Amino acid sequence: MIYPWLTQVWQQTLQQRNRLHHALLVAGPAGIGKSAFAQSLAMALLCESPAPDGSACGRCAACGWFTQGNHPDFRLLAPAAADEAADEAEGRSSTARSRSAKPSREIKIDQVRALERFVEVGGHRGGSKLILIDPAEALNTASANALLKTLEEPAGSTRFLLVASRPDALPATIRSRCAMLPLAAPPIDAAVGWLAADAGVSAEQAAQWLAAAGGSPLRAKRFADPTEATAHRLIVETLAGLPETDVIQAADALSGVEPAQWLGVLQTWVADLGRVHAGAEPRFHPDRAARLRSLAQRGGLDGLTRLNASLGKLARAVDHPLNPRLMAEDALIQLRDALAA
Ligand SMILES: [Zn+2]
């Protein structure tokens, strides 16, 4: 699936399909369709009778296997947690995996080592083998180091596609072995038009979702799900109630929400407070501009920078919070104190 704003770069990439670097780093902002782009590119590169424009035919044996997820010359390297999420989304059973182990958000060294044999043996179909690593930021230090050798001297014709929203977060040793394939977010007007048509909502509604999602069309699309939209509204209302409302009640209100979700919104709220305080328009919550302005007028908001740094630290631990409830209270107390200062 190639989203309309990526069509041009897609066609350019296909035109060069015989000259592409053996390791491509598909990089760009989160939520613009990089994974779908990389999947389509993998399918096109493995296709045994590509269309004249270089895209996959969709009818050959290779395309059939790829679509069913069992092409013998293709491997997807992803965190176990993402695997399970994909299994659920596609209705596959994940009972073959150990259920007792906590799903990992990292690509483990064992997963990289398992590739070595795949790379060594000849391709089943005589063409190139392809390894897709998505997201590449999930490689930890050990697995990134283990990958280096394979990435540098691929046996036979092995291709790599790495997907990253934060390519800067990758080790320089990995980045330097790849050619960058940059993908860009669509201009706001184009994104609003696409979202309004896709979700069947007004342009005004689409623009509001897009703002809340920081300009990411696919993240914005999630608000079309009423559960997501309700959770988002609850989080924003809870945050907007501070510092007047009680922190304990506010933490209660957030108790049914995943920490990663409320923390993400809190970060956008703090970013908007900073913008409004500096005299700019809010980026994420334009519909709450009045409330943001009244909060920003209260005091120095000196605590915002500190709060921002502190939330960044929380974000790195948010996948494994020791106590989600305490984490919420702690973050909300920091927000209240920054606003009350
Ligand atoms: Zn094909």
Q: Give distance in angstroms: CA of 58 to centre of ligand 1.
A: 5
Calculate how far, in angstroms, residue 141's C-alpha sits from the geometric centre of ligand 1. Answer: 36
Distance, CA 186 to ligand 1 centroid (Å)?
29
Same domain? 90 vs 169: yes
Which of 149, 182, 215 is the C-terminal boundary of a domain?
182
- pLDDT, residue 119, reads 85
Q: How far is the CA of 69 from the centre of ligand 1 (A)?
A: 14
- In the structure encoding, which two tokens stand for residue 305, read together? 């920078």
- Cα 296 versus chain centre, distance: 31
Q: Strand pairing partners for 24? A: 161, 179
Residue 120: give the domain boundaries: 4-182
| DSSP of 267-319 | HHHHHHHHHHHTTPPPSS-GGGHHHHHHHHTSS--THHHHHHHHHHHHHHHTT
Overall number of domains in the chain: 2
Q: If you measure from the C-alpha of residue 45 to the centroid of ligand 1, how many angstroms do you get, rounded to a whole number?
A: 9
Distance 48 CA to ligand 1 centre (A): 5
Residue where the block lists tokens 């044999």? 117
Instruction: Determine the distance separating the centroid of ligand 1 and the alpha carbon of 28, expressed in angstroms.
Output: 27
Whether residue 28 is contained in a domain is answered as yes
Evaluate whether 53 touches 13 at the Cβ level (below 8 Å). no
What does the pLDDT read at residue 236? 96
Q: Are strands 158-164 and 23-27 parallel, antiparallel or unpaired?
A: parallel
- Report how far ligand 1's centroid is from the alpha carbon of 194 (Å): 29
Q: Compute φ and ψ for 194, nearest 5 degrees.
A: -65, -45
Which residue matches tokens 């000259």? 19
Ligand 1 centroid to Cα of residue 226, in Å, is: 38
pLDDT at 121: 77
Q: What is the dihedral of CA 134, 137, 142, 148, to 10 degrees?
A: 70
Examine residue 16 and state whether it is found in any structural domain, yes or no.
yes
Structure tokens at 62: 């290779």
- The rounded Å distance from CA 333 to ligand 1 centre is 56
Residue 209 included in any domain:
no
Ligand 1 mean position, distance from CA 33 (Å): 22
pLDDT value of residue 72: 93
Q: What is the SS3 assignment for 44?
A: helix
Do 151 and 262 have their domain in common?
no
Determine the Cα–Cα distance for residues 84 and 80; give it in Å rounded to an integer.
6
Residue 168 Cα to ligand 1 midpoint, Å, equals: 34
| CA–CA dist 256, 262 (Å, integer) | 10
Does 140 lie in the same domain as 87? yes
Cα separation, 160 vs 41, in Å, equals: 11
CA 67 / ligand 1 centre spacing (Å): 10
Q: Which three-class secondary structure state does DSSP give residue 35?
A: helix
Q: Any idea which residue has 């697995």 for tokens? A: 143
Same domain membership, residue 156 and residue 15: yes
- Give, as residue ranges, everything with CB less than 5 Å from ion ligand 1: 47, 56-57, 60, 63
Find the Cα–Cα–Cα–Cα dihedral 96, 98, 102, 107, rounded to 10°.
Answer: -70
Looking at the fold, whether 134 and 279 belong to one and the same domain comes out as no
Query: Which parts of the chain sit beneath pLDDT 70?
Result: 81-103, 123, 153-156, 299-300, 341
Ligand 1 mean position to 145 CA, how many Å? Answer: 34
Any idea what the CATH number is for the domain that residue 232 is in?
A: 1.20.272
Give Dmax over CA atoms of the chain in angstroms.
68
The tally of CA atoms less than 13 A away on the side-chain side of residue 202 is 3
Task: Give the DSSP H or E segment for 181.
Answer: strand 179-182
What spacing in Å lies between the alpha carbon of 52 and ligand 1's midpoint?
12
Ligand 1 centroid–CA 12 distance in Å is 19
Distance 16 CA to ligand 1 centre (A): 18
Domain boundary among 182, 209, 237: 182
Which of helix, strand or coil describes residue 114? helix
Tokens read off for 52:
């004249």
Say whether pTM exceeds 0.75: yes
Same domain assignment for residues 229 and 174: no
- Name residue 74's beta-bridge partners: 130
- Cα-only R_g, the chain: 22
pLDDT at 18: 87
> What is the model's pLDDT at position 90?
43
Instruction: Report pLDDT for 340.
Output: 80
CA 55 to centroid of ligand 1, rounded, Å: 8
- Give the pLDDT of residue 253: 93
Residues 238 and 93 in one domain: no
pLDDT of residue 154: 63
Q: What is the distance in A from the centroid of ligand 1 to the CA of 98?
A: 34
Q: Is the dihedral of CA 259, 260, 264, 265 positive or negative?
A: negative
CA 332 to chain CA centroid, nearest Å: 25
Within a domain: 80: yes
